[in-house]
Amino acid sequence: MNYQHAFHAGNFADVHKHVVLVRILVYLRQKPAAFRVIDTHAGPGRYDLFAEEPTRTGEWRDGIARIWKDGGPRFPPGPAQQLLAPYLDAVAASNSDGVLRTYPGSPLIAQGLLRPQDRLIACELEPRSAARLKAVLRGDRRAKALAIDGWTAIGAYVPPKERRGLVLVDPPFEDQAEVMRMSEALAAAYRKWPGGIYLLWYPIKTREVADMLARRLRRLGLGKALRCEIAVRPPSADAGLAGSGLVVVNPPFTLEADLRVLLPALLGSLAPPAARGWQRLDWLASSLATFP
């Protein structure tokens, strides 16, 4: 699967991934101690939704546009809206006039939630995206853009000196070898920093990639690993991207409860009623979890 992100910016998978990213960062901000975010496959940082690639696919219209309207969020009032508010605020910060034209990538979202004592390392190897990322983060001493391979970065920057923080691993999944790279990189990082939070994203086109990754992660002996999936249609080999998957290693203790509120609300907004969308929230590893 070739997942060139400029074509997919702001789609349902981005909404899913970034909502969970923000909930983790909100949790980390609750304690005064500094934290670090390591974004291994950061991309350019910001996406023009009316550029050639997103215009060609229009995927953002079935993603962020479903929970946003010009002037503010479209989500109905209630607990889910409260949990979504920091994410929607991050989108609003990139669209100051209230008209949705720009979608923030994960490094820009993370940057917006840093406090003075926190730090961000955003890694991107592709030259044009790396140059754009550097421009997006320029002038912020808390954030550093590095033109480095994301898999190399995990080994080089874990553990961070803050000893608190998050590693976001969001590779392009150009082939199934990314599953092996992801599990091997996590295993090495976890040995060095077993207390870190790791957020892993994977596409769901068929169940093959998702189930392969789950099997490999189960064999790693992780303490806690929460799996969170959302799909807007049943997986099919010829149907394109059907779903978005996340695994959170060492999730904040509040995250499972947050997601039990958020996932049904997101699915109701992002999946057309006749599309037979679905959600999954379960534990791949946890001695304390109650398995559904």
pLDDT value of residue 287: 58
pLDDT value of residue 236: 79
As annotated, the active-site residues are 170
State whether residue 80 is helix, strand or coil: helix
Provide the pLDDT confidence category of residue 98 given band limits of 50, 70 and 90.
confident
**For the chain, which residues make up each domain, given as ranges?**
5-285
Using a cut of 0.75, tell me whether the model's pTM lies above it: yes
Distances (CA, A) of 37 to 34, 162, 197, 237: 10, 10, 10, 34
pLDDT at 188 over 80: yes
- The DSSP symbol for 243 reads E
Residues 46, 130: contact at Cβ < 8 Å? no
Distances (CA, A) of 124 to 41, 105, 107, 181, 292: 6, 12, 11, 16, 38
CATH of the domain spanning 5-285: 3.40.50.150
> Taking the CB of residue 197, how many other CB atoms lie within 10 A of it?
22
Residues 6+ apart with CB under 8 A from 94: 46, 102, 103, 104, 108
3-state helix, strand, coil split of the chain in percent (to 5) is 40, 20, 40
Rounded to whole angstroms, the Cα distance separating 16 from 45 reads 17
Rounded to whole angstroms, the Cα distance separating 252 from 250 reads 7
- What is the average pLDDT score of the chain? 91
Provide the pLDDT confidence category of residue 3 given band limits of 50, 70 and 90.
very low
pLDDT at 290 over 60: no
**Sign of the CA dihedral with 270 first, then 273, 274, and 276 last:** positive
Percent of the chain with pLDDT over 70: 94
